[in-house]
Structure 1
Amino acid sequence: MIHLTGDLALPLHCVQRVDRSQKDQGGNTLTVTFNVTQPAPDNSTFRDFTTFHSVWDTDLITFKCYDWGMAAAEAEKLIPTFAADLLADDTPEKWLAECHRQAEAAYQALPAGTPLKSILVGP
């Protein structure tokens, strides 16, 4: 249940794009260029080629703050701001449905006709 709950926070863990007989395994086989025009906060550079899945799972967070602990602390600050009645009605099924909606939105943001093999993305 812990692993499932963690995956539900990562939209590309909820879907995969299928093009005829080819599947992209939630963006893991979709090679992208992470188009970053500025260095990360620690001045490190990003890989030119990565996967669509990696951009969602790690690269965007690394680019934004480069500190997973800080990202977690910021998320924890937000938890008390959620209305208790909204959280009371939540179920794993609702989490999965929301995750799937977010993943669909991510794929819909890709340019029309994007092949499963390559795309240029950026923050």
Structure 2
Amino acid sequence: MKSKKILLSATLIAATSIQCFSWGQKGHDTVCFIAENHLTPVAKATAEKLLGGKSIVYYANWLDNASHTPEYSYSKTWHYKNIDANETFENAQMHESGDVVRAIREQAYILNNPDSSDEQKSLALKMLVHLVGDIHQPMHMGHRSDLGGNRWMVKYFNSPKNLHSIWDSSLPESAHKWSYTEWQQQIDRATPEEEAEIIADGSPEKWGKECYQIAAEVYNTTPEDSKLSYDYIAKWTPVIEEQFLRGGLRLADLLNSIFDPHYAGANNIIKKN
């Protein structure tokens, strides 16, 4: 019994001491595949050229691993924007190394800057395709005090887990056992009018605040030590689907705006740089 308690304690410590970075791999692949299906031919060709012939889906999860290496460790805080319960999105303290909102703007600027080298643009693109996915994961707007839900412990089908990991992977995988291509096929069905509404006023500030509002509801309806199961999946599956779709359509709009001079989209990030 004592050994079991020690093992459980070690598991909980590991779960709460690691800052999880993003949607699980499936989520990022889905966001990028939706985006890829909405790129103009010019934007798609430009992106693939910068990525050495590979698609944006290939690099969907690249930054999660890269941020753990010495070369790119400076990007660790770029995956999220911590907002404590006593703060608002507007007045939240920004990490000195930056956050996901600022990082998206900076990488978009590099991609849109004619003076940037192809090497600089390639790195910016690898980062950007991941970061746009990150800013649509509600726990990436989570509290600083609990590391975006990493220290907010609950039980998921009687298994101890932190809230961040549930939103990263457990919820999407419980909602649908689909491949990322099946996710795209099933949820990427918005009408032109709905797409226009999703990409309207395309700015990371808007996306982040929208996600922050979802995060606030997640915290309010998921107290610590909650026992989560089927009803939780049913409640939040539509939100997961909507966030994947929003991320994909907005990423496509951003890349089209940068790479295709004939594209008439709604994105305004590059206009403000």
| Bin for the TM-score computed over the shorter chain | 0.5 to 0.7
What is the alpha-carbon distance in structure 1 between the residues aligned to residue 173 and residue 137 of structure 2? Answer: 15
Aligned residues: 102
Query: Which has the larger helix fraction?
Result: 2
Establish whether residue 10 from structure 1 lines up as the match of residue 137 from structure 2: yes
Q: 1:34 to 1:86 in 2, by over 3 A?
A: closer
Establish whether residue 26 from structure 1 lines up as the match of residue 182 from structure 2: no
Report the TM-score, using the length of structure 1 for normalisation: 0.68
Gaps of 5+ in 1: 18-22, 36-46
SS in 1 for 2:188: helix
SS in 2 for 1:53: helix
Instruction: Give the CA deviation at 1:106.
Output: 0.4
RMSD: 2.4
2:171 aligned partner: 60
What is the alpha-carbon distance in structure 1 between the residues aligned to residue 191 and residue 217 of structure 2? Answer: 24
Instruction: Give the CA deviation at 1:88.
Output: 3.2
The correspondence of residues 104-119 of structure 1 with structure 2, limited to 5 A, is 104-111=216-223, 114=224, 118-119=225-226
1:102 aligned partner: 214
Instruction: Choose 1 or 2 for highest CA Rg.
Output: 2
Establish whether residue 90 from structure 1 lines up as the match of residue 197 from structure 2: no
Q: 1:73 to 1:81 in 2, by over 3 A?
A: farther
Gaps of 5+ in 2: 1-127, 233-273
Larger RCO: 1 or 2 (CA < 8 Å, sep 6+):
1
Q: 1:77 to 1:10 in 2, by over 3 A?
A: same
Query: Which has the larger strand fraction?
Result: 1
Tell me the amino acid that sits aligned with residue 160 of structure 2: F
Identity %: 29
Report the TM-score, using the length of structure 2 for normalisation: 0.33
